[in-house]
Structure formats: structure tokens, C-alpha cells
Amino acid sequence: MSASTPTRNLALDLVRVTEAAALAAGRYMGRGDKIAADRAAVEAMRWVLNSIEMDAVVVIGEGEKDEAPMLYNGERLGLGVPPELDLAVDPIDGTRPLAMGLWNSICTVALAPRGSMFNPGPALYMEKIAVGAEARDVIDLNAPVRDNLEKIARAKDERVEDLTVVILDRPRHEALIREVRACGARIRLIPDGDVAGALMTALPETGMDVLMGIGGSPEGVIAACAMRCLGGNLQGRLVARTPEEEIRLREQGYDLQRVLTLDDLVSSNDVFFAATGITSGDLLRGVDYFGNGATTDSLVMRGLTGTVRRIQATHRLDKLGRISPIAY
């Protein structure tokens, strides 16, 4: 077995990473300080990631290194021993909701064998469509909204009117919202957090059927890792915000017309994903503090086996404080 092939369920290590980040960042709920919240999550993530037996390189992070404490693209984490892995991190998916005390803020992290994750480079935005397992083979990002909704409904043995479409609440989606409404489908607008939005489409208990619209391209790669584990599907297409950005992306070899399939976004099934709730939402419960303790709610997944675990943990913060430099 090669050094680039994971040999154990690293998702069970990753949940320690997201739990630590959620516990640290959760203290900033509603305090209006996005930077402090992000810093707390990043510092906790880095400390735990560096305790894991792996040689990981950040492919999806905070961009090239500028100043600490961001987890930056190209940073190496872990103990520097095999397996060799690509690492995708979103310390807080939903920084604004966390800072404002709103819903659906989570910590996420994913691992895959070295060289298997798509690197969007300077492309910050991506048009996406994501669905669960029942409709994984019928979506087409190039198709009209109505065609996709009708095919998804048939695949799920439902009517279009039964579907709920998750869309980020942004002015750029006004036309998309009109199209979905004209088709008769229901809409769930979310203020932020399209990693969680994509995941919800693959988890029947959430009641969400499809994610549509433009969101973050790094978040698209992270969500694709989770979809690998859940049996769902995600397609994406890079979006340039300005003519200057389009020129820069084309000069770097990015094809803005190409539909990126799940295989393009993460080419290996041997992928690991973990997410922990910071504030409560449709996907996960948030951190709940009490006395010297706290509870967390997490999802842990492994693509190779398709195993999805939900882990509800109780943490003794007084004991953690004796062995950890992180302020929980």
C-alpha cells in the first residue's frame, strides 16, 4: 500500500479538530467580532491537526500565507509521516451568523489522498447544484432550472411542488429565485453557509432536496468531499466577479465554461469529512456550555465505506484546560 493511501479512519481524528474549533469559536457567538471568532477556530484547528499522524498539505484554506493565524494554502500540517494527504478546511462556515448570533454556523474539515482535490486557486466563487443520492445521476448544471427540478422530482418520486430548494440569500440570486418560484418549488433561503446547505440535500431528515446558486468555490470542494461520503452529487462551474478576474483566471489556465463534476472536485473515494455545529441550525446543534463543560454535535464521514456517524459529545473544559493551550 502506497504512502498516499490512508490506512485508517482519519475522520475519527478529524472530529477532534472540528470539536476543538467549535468549542473555541463558540464563545464568540453574538459578540460581533468575526476576526476573533475565526482566529479562535483556526488556532484550535491547527493545534489538533498537528497532533495527527499524517503529512497533509492545505489545498483549501485561507489563501497564500500573509499573517498568522490563518490556515493558508500550501501549509503542511500533521506529524509529517504517511499517509500523504490533501487538506481542506473551513474553520467557520458561516462567520457572520456566528458573530451575529444567528443559525447554521459550523466548523468543517476534509482529507483526501495527495493530489485528489481540485484547487480553485484565485477563483473565489462557483455556481453549484447539489443533491442527495436519489437524484445524483439526473442533475446537469448546464440545464435550465425547470429541467433539473423536474428530473429531481421524478428521481425522488415526488412532484416539483414537493421539492425544497436551498439558495443563498444574495441579490445575485434574484433571477434564480424567480425561476424556482415559477416552477412551483419551495425555497429555503439561507444567509450564509453553503457547505451546510449542500450537505442538507443529502440528509433526508433535513427536508432539503437541492442546492442551487453561486457560493464559495473553496466551500464547493469541501462540500464535494462530504458528498463523496454521502452518495450525493455536486457539480460546479467557476465564476469570475469582474472582467479583470476573468482575464487572470484564464491566464492561469482555468476554463470558466467547464462543468466540474464530483470526480473533478475530489477524485478519490478514500475521503474523510467532519463537521461540528457552532450555532444551532438545520444540520447540527450548536455548542452548549455549562459550568466546566460543554456539549457538541458532529457529523463524521468516510467515503471508502460510506459510514456516516453522528457524534454527540460532552467535554470537561476544566480537564481540557490542563492539557491544551486552547482557551475553550
* Residue ranges at the known binding site: 38, 62, 90, 93-95, 125, 170-172, 192-194, 216, 219
Q: How far is CA 181 from its chain centroid? A: 27
DSSP state of 258: P
> Which residues are CB-contacts of 203 (< 8 A; sequence separation ≥ 6)?
132, 230, 283
Nearest alpha-carbon partner for 93 in 218, 18, 195, 24 = 195
DSSP state of 226: H
**Residue 199 · residue 226 · CB < 8 Å:** yes
Grid coordinates of 222: 469541501
> Which residues are CB-contacts of 137 (< 8 A; sequence separation ≥ 6)?
155, 233
**Residue 276 · residue 107 · CB < 8 Å:** yes
Question: What residue numbers does the annotated binding site for Mn(2+) cover?
Answer: 38, 62, 90, 93, 219
The bridge status of strand 186-190 relative to strand 233-239 is unpaired
Grid coordinates of 33: 467580532
d(CA 259, CA 265): 10
Instruction: Give the orientation angle of helix 145-155 with respect to helix 174-183, to 10 degrees.
Output: 50
Residue type, 209: D
Question: What residue numbers does the annotated binding site for substrate cover?
Answer: 93-95, 125, 170-172, 192-194, 216
* CB burial readout 140-175, b (16+ within 10 A) else e: ebeeebeebbbbbbebbeeebeebbbbbbeeeebee
